[in-house]
Amino acid sequence: MLGLIGVTRIYLKRAELFLAVGAVLQFAPTRTPGQAGAQRAAPLHVAQGAPKRPRITGIDHVRLYVTDMDRSQAFYRNYVGLATTAQSACRENAYPCLPVNPQQQIELQVVASPGPKNWIAEIGYATDDIEQMRRYLLAHRVETTPITNEPNGARHFELRDPEGNPLAFVQRTIGFSEWLTSGGQVGARLLHAGFVVKDVAAENRFYVDVLGFKLYWQGGFKDDGLDWYELQVPDGDNWIEYMLNIPANADHKALGAQNHFSFGVKEIQAAAAQLRTNGLEKIASPGIGRDGKRGLNVYDPDDTRVEITEFTPAREPCCHPYTAPHPKP
């Protein structure tokens, strides 16, 4: 069995319920609600007649840094239940990958030494017009790589957000036509990805003002605090999550809990049962978080948090109401 045992962690939004085994994460003091919105600056000036932004429909992929490719592939194949690379059209991908569904995938990249603080190597967003998206970003003075054509029919380019987080835009002319499930797949949709953010105003000038992301939910460990700030893509129901108030000296395990991604499921108890059936021996009992959703966490061999959460809340969230539609299975 791969090792997800032996450490006690407090699970972020579900801190009151999710104690897995080891060291408790410490967080800096919370901010007051609404601070992120209050700090937003005016949009970047763009000349009249600039290209219109094409649609951004969701998360195409999440690429993770790993230290041992075989061990990480075994974790996501055996425990999470994703199909192997050899069984899918993903085999022509630039990085080893495992399809989650015909339009979304997890990619794995062996980390260089020394490793970065953020082991989310890239978040890829789906668009329906890759050339227009690049023209739009260049018109907003956002630097990008050239468009690359992949053997599997995908076209993409890469860039970084204001805090240096790597991202990409991808247009797929075809889905993973050979996508197969393993029979034990825990979740069949990527819902969101989260990463540490220091300057909310700078990130919002990019994600909100330029890309058009919209507020989904915000909340904190305390009702008057702000520790999580969630933004949905403009033309879909996937979202990103700013992880706020993280100490600058946070270690690898702490950052692995913050820089994370999630699968959506209809019923969390069924997901927990499937994880145990797949051989994962120790997982925290599901619980309800501050966002009102039932969920649980597991950690991959490099301590990256894999969140599994229901699509809709089971109760009202703390702090602030949801302000955009919930995802659907």
**More confidently predicted of 282 and 179:** 282
The whole-number pLDDT of residue 268 equals 97
- Of the candidates 322, 324, 319, the one whose C-alpha atom is nearest the C-alpha of residue 30 is 319
- Of the candidates 281, 245, 211, the one whose C-alpha atom is nearest the C-alpha of residue 12 is 245
DSSP state of 204: H
Per-residue pLDDT band for 158 (boundaries 50, 70, 90) equals: very high
Bridge partners for 194 per DSSP? 241, 260
Helix, strand and coil in the chain, % to nearest 5: 20, 30, 50
- Of the candidates 72, 83, 59, the one whose C-alpha atom is nearest the C-alpha of residue 264 is 59
Cβ atoms of residues 137 and 76 within 8 Å: no
Q: Which tokens sit at 301?
A: 């061999």
Per-residue pLDDT band for 75 (boundaries 50, 70, 90) equals: very high
Looking at domain 12-37+185-310, which CATH architecture does it have?
A: Roll (3.10)
pLDDT, the chain, mean: 85
Per-residue pLDDT band for 26 (boundaries 50, 70, 90) equals: very low
DSSP 278-304: TT----PPPEE-TTS-EEEEEE-TT--
Write the burial class of residue 204 (CB in 10 Å: 0-12 exposed, 13-18 middle, 19+ buried): buried
Q: Considering Cα of 282, then 118, then 17, then 296, what sign does the dihedral take?
A: negative
Task: Give residue limits of the domains in the chain.
Answer: 12-37+185-310, 56-172
- Of the candidates 214, 194, 168, the one whose C-alpha atom is nearest the C-alpha of residue 61 is 168
The predicted model scores a pTM of 0.86
- Of the candidates 194, 213, 189, the one whose C-alpha atom is nearest the C-alpha of residue 103 is 189
The number of beta carbons lying within 10 Å of the beta carbon of residue 264 is 25
Spatial neighbors of 139 by CB under 8 A, at least 6 apart, are 46, 47, 50, 51
What's the number of CA atoms in the CB half-sphere (13 Å) around residue 43? 11
Please check whether the two domains, 12-37+185-310 and 56-172, share a CATH topology: yes
The whole-number pLDDT of residue 317 equals 97
Where is 156: in which H helix or E strand? strand 154-160
CA 179 – CA 103 distance, rounded (Å):
9
Cα 147 to the chain's mean position, in Å?
Answer: 23
56-172: CATH superfamily: 2,3-Dihydroxybiphenyl 1,2-Dioxygenase, domain 1 (3.10.180.10)
- pLDDT exceeds cutoff 90 at 267: yes
CA 213 – CA 161 distance, rounded (Å):
13
Per-residue pLDDT band for 281 (boundaries 50, 70, 90) equals: confident
Per-residue pLDDT band for 30 (boundaries 50, 70, 90) equals: very low
